[in-house]
Amino acid sequence: MFEKGWYGVHIEMKTLSDKGVNMDLFEQMSEHEQVIFCNDERTGLKAIIAIHNTTLGPALGGCRMQPYKTVESALFDVLRLSKGMTYKCAAADVDFGGGKAVIIGDPLKHKTPELFRAFGQYVESLNGRFYTGTDMGTTPDDFVHSLKETNCIVGVSEEYGGSGDSSVPTALGVIYGIQATNKVVFGDDELKGKTYAIQGLGKVGAKVALRLLEEGANLYVCDVNEEAVQSVLSRAKELGQSVKVVKGNEIYQTDADVFVPCAFGNVVNDDTIDLFRVKAIVGSANNQLLDVRHGKMLHERGILYAPDYIVNAGGLIQVADELYEPNKERVLKKTKGIYQTLFNIYQEAEKECITTVEAANRFCEERIEMRSKRNNFFAHKKRPKWDIRL
């Protein structure tokens, strides 16, 4: 059906690109169903939409805006990210496939309402095969303009019919992930009495930090935003809990029980892996492992790794649910399932003597394979799982 393994293909493609191998376009997108290049000279729109796999349903994935240096680098990014969304949707048990979009441009200089309207028209031309919304470099307000051209937009504010702040279920998913991890490492899923090293106090990281403090945990925190740090320190003082502020790479060397990366990716790499003294890594950051081999290295060191796309699925669950009309209670109930999914992956990894990344990938691939049999069963009437906004 498609080349197995998310992290492995990511690195393989990157290596080819780094070595300057001139790959044919169709060779690069060989695992993907469709890649659309969007060009609108009047607005300056240059975008790529990649649909990886729609076995589970229409493709769903965010749209990021970055000043890519080359079209090749933009293509590499969108192909990698769209494949990741296939796995993420399968893991979250939403009836959507994997897709992603990138807009080539500086988000601080090149954004205009007309550019996002033009982008919306290209999304609309796919006739419901692809749903998108905010990602790195874009905001919900940008897609208010796209929403005027297509209904295939998610993640806008509640005033425009959206489901609101997706960082709430994302942070909750991280908490459930930590609890499942604690169950395996410590024998109980209590948050209290343990120490966590949180890297990044943005929308998600700050919510995770506050929840852990309220549960009686102690923290190490690291963030360049002093205001965010002070907010956590103030709350800790009110609760009588300990928070130690560290800088830069010091966050990797703490004596915390669990490292919680909630900022940027690739934080588990050759330079950091020997610094870790924690028992587990659980966080919301995407692509935490620089290379698939780093997952094996963590395993060899006895550090339990929670695959990021399992843990950070709360936001995806919310935007997918939005297409059936927003329902916060339903989102929170489904997000709770992250606990059991991750716990099952831990058990499978131990049983089969494989890494947690391998177990997570296998879990997703088996689910996609099983659902493909259901989705090949023809029926004239639209099934409830795809009775969504179009």
Closest CA to 233 of 250, 220, 224, 215: 220
CA distance 362 to 162: 33
pTM: 0.86
Cβ contact 387:373 at 8 Å: no
325: three-class secondary structure by DSSP: coil
243: three-class secondary structure by DSSP: strand
Burial 153-173 (b: 16+ CB within 10 A, else e): bbbbeeeeebbbbbbbbbbbb
Please give the structure tokens belonging to residue 164.
């609101």
Q: What is the structure's pLDDT at 349?
A: 98
Please give the structure tokens belonging to residue 135.
């990602």
| Catalytic residue, candidates 46, 88, 100, 207 | 100
Alpha-carbon torsion 185, 190, 194, 197, what sign? positive
Stated as kind and residue range, the H or E segment containing 221 is strand 218-222
CA distance 46 to 224: 32
The alpha-helical segments, DSSP class H, found in the chain are: 6-18, 25-28, 71-92, 113-124, 140-146, 167-186, 203-214, 226-239, 292-301, 308-311, 314-322, 328-335, 337-352, 356-375
Cβ contact 68:11 at 8 Å: no
Residue-level pLDDT, tens digit, the chain, 390 residues: 455 665 433 333 444 444 454 568 889 899 999 999 999 999 999 999 999 999 999 999 999 999 999 999 999 999 988 998 999 999 999 999 999 999 999 999 999 999 999 999 999 999 999 999 998 889 999 999 999 999 999 999 899 989 888 899 999 999 999 999 999 999 999 999 999 999 999 999 999 999 999 999 999 999 999 999 999 999 999 999 999 999 999 999 999 999 999 998 889 999 999 999 999 999 999 889 999 999 999 999 999 999 999 999 999 999 999 999 989 999 999 999 999 999 999 999 999 999 999 999 999 999 999 998 877 776 667 778 888 877
Q: Residue 62's beta-bridge partner residues?
A: none
Cβ contact 294:269 at 8 Å: yes
Closest CA to 249 of 263, 231, 236, 235: 263
Please give the structure tokens belonging to residue 51.
């649909």
Cβ contact 80:99 at 8 Å: no
Cβ contact 205:174 at 8 Å: no
Please give the structure tokens belonging to residue 318.
């919310």
Q: Is 100 a catalytic residue?
A: yes
Please give the structure tokens belonging to residue 334.
């489904």
CA distance 142 to 70: 24
Classify the phi-psi angles of 137: left when phi > 0, otherwise alpha if psi is within -120 to 50, otherwise beta: left
Classify the phi-psi angles of 325: left when phi > 0, otherwise alpha if psi is within -120 to 50, otherwise beta: left
Q: How far is CA 72 from CA 17, 79, 251, 367, in A?
A: 9, 11, 34, 32
Q: What is the structure's pLDDT at 287?
A: 86
CA distance 357 to 296: 9
Please give the structure tokens belonging to residue 269.
């790499």
Q: What is the structure's pLDDT at 142?
A: 96
Q: What is the structure's pLDDT at 13?
A: 40
